[in-house]
Structure 1
Amino acid sequence: MSEDSHIEFLLSDALARQRAAFEADPHPSLATRRDRLDRIGRLLKDRGPEICAAVSRDFGHRSVHETTMLEIVPLMGALRHTRSHLRRWMKPERRGRSIEFLQLKNTVQYQPLGVIGVMVPWNYPIFLALGPLIDILAAGNRAIIKPSELVPQTSALLSTLIGAYFAPEEVTVIEGGVDVAAAFSAQPFDHLVFTGSTAVGRKVMAAAAANLTPVTLELGGKSPTIVAPDYSHFSAARDIVFGKLMNAGQTCIAPDYVLVEKGRLEQFVSALQAEIVRCYPSQSSAMHYTGIVGERAHRRLVDGLQECRDRGVRLVTADITLPQAGFAIAPTLVIDPPADCRLMEEEIFGPILPIIPYDTLDDAIAFIRARPRPLTLYLFTGRNETRRKVLESTISGNVTVNGTLLHVAQNDLPFGGVGPSGIGAYHGFDGFKRFSHARGIATVRIFNPARLAMPPYGRLTELLAKFMGRI
């Protein structure tokens, strides 16, 4: 059997096994769903140290605190939220009816879809595997997970842990490289979740289209940050450094570039420098700062910086101690780079932050509107008028005002992109609905009003049509 045939057999077998199990129990009980959620919680609680160690090895170095706070803690919050609301979410949802159909009772039943495929990126290999899984299992589905080959130790551990806490008919993990990913996206899942780059997202969507598989694509893009003239640049710098340097900027919702009033540019640059040193003092920065995931990603970032140097752009590099293992890049501010350089045309995905001066707030908004719709928008302002103007004038997946990253941790907010930054949203009830079929059910209670419109037609039919056709 060839390698391609072997991969296809593994995927088809896993999908067939899960689909058969789903058909035998197409609407799992509340108790069954809660049990599956509880097993994710036990996995995280019991094996947290192993997870942190594996992630750190794959990144060269990543702080235990960072993996705990960015991956494990948000998952535990999502589990608590989902478990506490699941009974209500599963109940049929009452819907209204018009006056001519008062004899009907209308409801929506959220029905499990079946088997969901999840393609996981390398940057948050636990959060972006188990986060969708929480919503998938809450909705009553089964799942097959394809982790990233760029974090092999974490992927292997995830496979082992899922196998220890779940039967293959419930959840299973299939590891592999690009060939496995291509075959995975071409399987006839009942829904497919992909998190990654826009370029790869296009390929995944094309492969899924052959089976009419609906997709949720969580992509990325260049998430902008506006610091309004009224806002303290010292306060903004603190939150921006936090959002940008968590995971060394390898975050799809990290601030990608900052727009700041031209007259405050130098003050803001100084504030950012001071905040970077405060967050990563020399005695602990090597322990708390995350490495770049691999040589290829490191080289792409280095090349982007070199292009700016060659074009005479001012770079401000923070003086911190980098981790000894693996690859790392010091936090670097890129002051007013040209719009056609690599760092301004591609998602950065690293600890590099372009700072773009603007003359007026309208100029900042126009700069954002001239580019593809981003996954996230950040705005720092204390004025309601400015907040309203920016939110009404721009389109993005999500927004955090006067902070960074916070929207992704809100379990009652949908999370997702728009246009080039993604399709569909999940988290909490929005995730439960995303991985369910909303089946509308109309029930005749006493008298079927359609009988008034049945042939033979006459005066009653004409009066009924006139009444129902009113404005």
Structure 2
Amino acid sequence: MTTANAAQGVTNTGGAAPRRGTTARDLSLAEILEIQKRAQAEDPQPTAKVRRDRISRLKQLVLDNAKDFAEAIRDDYGSRPETLSTLTDIAASMPDLDHQRSHVAKWMRSDAPSRVLSKVGFHQEVRHDPKGVVGIMGPWNFPLYLTIVPAGSALGAGNRVMIRSSSSTPRTTELLCELGPKYFPVEELVFAGPEHGRGSEFSKLDFDHLFFTGSPGVGRSVAKDAAENLTPVTLELGGKNPVLVDPEADIAEVAANVAASRMVNGGQVCVCPDYALVPRDKVEAFADAVLETWTKKFGAISGNPEYTTTINESNFERICGLIDDARAKGATVRQVVPAGEDLPNATERKIAPTVLTDLGADMDIEDDEVFGPILSVYPYDDIVDAVAQINARPDPLVLYWYGERGPRFDYAVGHTRSGNVYGNNFGMGMVSSAVPFGGSGNSGMGSYHGKWGFDTFSRDRAVAMSEFDYNVGDFMTPPFDAAAKRQADLFLKAMKTRTRFLG
């Protein structure tokens, strides 16, 4: 379908379209959902060509308007480098869309589990059918990447898509709502705007799958809403991501790496390191090196358009409160405040990069995911102690390891749970289509990227066909004569023999 046809509300399936020129803003959420469900019923198994075309149009929506999106995100934050948005929200979205588009024809083919059984009259296959209409709820920290990538997977799997962007990024949401109809008719993909109500109204819709990225607290509410409709959910949440520093690692090098990673998007990234576990005798050297790195990076903070602001006032106050609480309860607070500046700055919503040490269990920051420019540093005595500290908290989204891959690494990974494990660098698997991305427990459920994204939005459907001359059900209903009992005994004996043979 061409972009022009998409703008006019014309589909290549016919029958299910609303009147020509109708856009999402003319309709309620319930009406949009009904239109998409009817359209899916008209064309329940879109061809590979159709799926690739939809992914291509999603790419073009982003690429054609890249500059406008970068400016909109900057305006939503107040201060966020357009280069950062171009790299993370726009460019980083493309590889997985390309991967989906290149592989969808292969992935959508049915699998045949056993050719041997087929030859004796028992044919089996596993279909990979679209689920139907997928709802995607995006967050504010990467308002394009974290909606466009899952949407590409959902389209590749043959679904229709409804997207609700965050209300914390109104300019970006407005731009998506304005541009969406130019590339997609209502029947295929829709961006819901503020006129469609709150997020809770979206999550209560009877979707065939619901995908949410955000905080664990809101994720629980979304899961409850979806449960009312028995809608399957994928939850991509956050958590306190630990950095475990090996005793033999180069402390200065690791500290510089972690310092930069902590400040990506002002620390407002679900895969940012939240706290570091450092050998006890190296804690001070580590903290000093983190502060030194930040001092070199941030010659100015107030008035610096390249220093990302905290997204809104409530988060600004929450993060400042965490620092104040830790200080009041005895933590050592060290900050990088350029000469002549007064931070935190409530007008600009800018907070100085902060290192906390000497933390105690009664401090609020012990439990709260920071999502801001604070790095907590804890000492550990041996790898068992460090692992125990990690396991005392809910499962993180990412466990970071800095050091060689050896017995201590194996112990740490083998004795902890996390959504992902990244070694010696920031977010290594985040933009890869070769590995899954997803959480564990408090940090989420389900995964996507690459084939895992296609699988998330597909229904694996078994098909089994028989050419046997007898009915299996006859063996399982009365009368159970002597022959049936002998067959049952022979089957049981065969299973026992097989078990002994397999060990």
| Shorter-chain TM band | over 0.9
Query: 1:222·1:347 contact (CA, 8 Å) conserved in 2?
Result: yes
- Find out whether 1:358 has 2:358 as its counterpart: no
Cα offsets for 1:126-165 (capped at 9, x unmatched): 1111111011000000111111111110111111122221
How much has 1:103 moved relative to structure 2? 3.3
CA distance in 2, matches of 1:461, 1:101: 28
Residue 21 of structure 1 aligns with which residue? 39
Out of 161, 164, 171, the position equivalent to 1:143 is 161
Out of 442, 459, 464, the position equivalent to 1:437 is 459
Partner SS state of residue 379, structure 2: strand
Residue 188 of structure 2 aligns with which residue? 170
Out of 462, 466, 471, the position equivalent to 2:490 is 466
User: Equivalent pairs: percent with the same residue?
Assistant: 35
Cα offsets for 1:267-292 (capped at 9, x unmatched): 11121122223434449992422111
Partner SS state of residue 63, structure 2: helix
Distance 1:284 1:308, change over 3 A: closer
Partner SS state of residue 32, structure 1: helix
Residue 40 of structure 1 aligns with which residue? 58
CA distance in 1, matches of 2:143, 2:68: 14
- Find out whether 1:182 has 2:200 as its counterpart: yes
CA distance in 1, matches of 2:76, 2:463: 49
- Find out whether 1:121 has 2:139 as its counterpart: yes
After alignment, is 94-103 or 114-123 more displaced? Answer: 94-103
Out of 398, 401, 404, the position equivalent to 1:379 is 401
Cα offsets for 1:285-309 (capped at 9, x unmatched): 9242211111111111111111122
CA distance in 2, matches of 1:454, 1:329: 71
Residue 347 of structure 1 aligns with which residue? 369
How much has 1:100 moved relative to structure 2? 11
Residue 279 of structure 1 aligns with which residue? 297
- The unaligned stretches of length 5 or more in structure 1 are 1-6
How much has 1:344 moved relative to structure 2? 1.5
Query: 1:60·1:325 contact (CA, 8 Å) conserved in 2?
Result: no
Cα offsets for 1:182-234 (capped at 9, x unmatched): 11111111011111111111111111111111111111111111111011112
CA distance in 2, matches of 1:341, 1:177: 40
Say how many residue pairs are matched: 465
CA distance in 2, matches of 1:305, 1:195: 26
Q: How does 1:53-68 map to 2 (within 5 A)?
A: 53-68=71-86
Partner SS state of residue 162, structure 2: strand
CA distance in 2, matches of 1:285, 1:81: 40
After alignment, is 233-242 or 345-354 more displaced? Answer: 233-242
Query: 2:301·2:350 contact (CA, 8 Å) conserved in 1?
Result: no
Query: 2:124·2:464 contact (CA, 8 Å) conserved in 1?
Result: yes
**Which one-letter code corresponds to 2:446 in the other structure?**
G
Residue 171 of structure 2 aligns with which residue? 153
How much has 1:95 moved relative to structure 2? 1.7
- Find out whether 1:131 has 2:131 as its counterpart: no
**Which one-letter code corresponds to 2:55 in the other structure?**
L
CA distance in 1, matches of 2:201, 2:287: 47
Query: 1:453·1:461 contact (CA, 8 Å) conserved in 2?
Result: no
Cα offsets for 1:291-339 (capped at 9, x unmatched): 1111111111111111122223211112458999831112111113212
CA distance in 1, matches of 2:433, 2:405: 27
Residue 89 of structure 2 aligns with which residue? 71
Residue 336 of structure 1 aligns with which residue? 358
Residue 125 of structure 2 aligns with which residue? 107
Residue 265 of structure 1 aligns with which residue? 283
CA distance in 2, matches of 1:103, 1:464: 22
Residue 202 of structure 1 aligns with which residue? 220
Query: 2:329·2:363 contact (CA, 8 Å) conserved in 1?
Result: no
How much has 1:96 moved relative to structure 2? 3.8
Out of 209, 216, 220, the position equivalent to 2:234 is 216
Cα offsets for 1:91-116 (capped at 9, x unmatched): 11222489799532322111001101
- Find out whether 1:87 has 2:105 as its counterpart: yes
Q: TM-score, normalised by structure 1?
A: 0.92
- Find out whether 1:316 has 2:351 as its counterpart: no
Query: 1:58·1:154 contact (CA, 8 Å) conserved in 2?
Result: yes
CA distance in 2, matches of 1:14, 1:449: 46
CA distance in 2, matches of 1:45, 1:179: 28
Residue 4 of structure 1 aligns with which residue? none
**Which one-letter code corresponds to 2:364 in the other structure?**
R
Q: TM-score, normalised by structure 2?
A: 0.86
How much has 1:428 moved relative to structure 2? 1.1
CA distance in 2, matches of 1:219, 1:73: 23
Cα offsets for 1:325-367 (capped at 9, x unmatched): 8311121111132122111211001011111111212111000
**Which one-letter code corresponds to 2:361 in the other structure?**
A
Cα offsets for 1:431-466 (capped at 9, x unmatched): 111111000122336777849958885648734762
Out of 217, 230, 240, the position equivalent to 2:248 is 230
Partner SS state of residue 45, structure 1: helix
Query: 1:148·1:177 contact (CA, 8 Å) conserved in 2?
Result: no
Partner SS state of residue 150, structure 1: coil
- Find out whether 1:396 has 2:424 as its counterpart: no
CA distance in 2, matches of 1:283, 1:421: 31
Residue 368 of structure 1 aligns with which residue? 390
Partner SS state of residue 239, structure 2: coil
Cα offsets for 1:353-382 (capped at 9, x unmatched): 111111212111000111111111111121
CA distance in 1, matches of 2:117, 2:471: 11
CA distance in 2, matches of 1:340, 1:19: 51
Residue 303 of structure 1 aligns with which residue? 321
Query: 1:103·1:449 contact (CA, 8 Å) conserved in 2?
Result: no
Query: 2:173·2:193 contact (CA, 8 Å) conserved in 1?
Result: yes
Q: For the aligned residues, what is the CA RMSD?
A: 2.7
Query: 1:59·1:326 contact (CA, 8 Å) conserved in 2?
Result: no
The structure that has the greater radius of gyration is 2
Cα offsets for 1:151-181 (capped at 9, x unmatched): 1101111111222211111111112399521
Distance 1:57 1:140, change over 3 A: same
Residue 3 of structure 1 aligns with which residue? none
Residue 51 of structure 1 aligns with which residue? 69
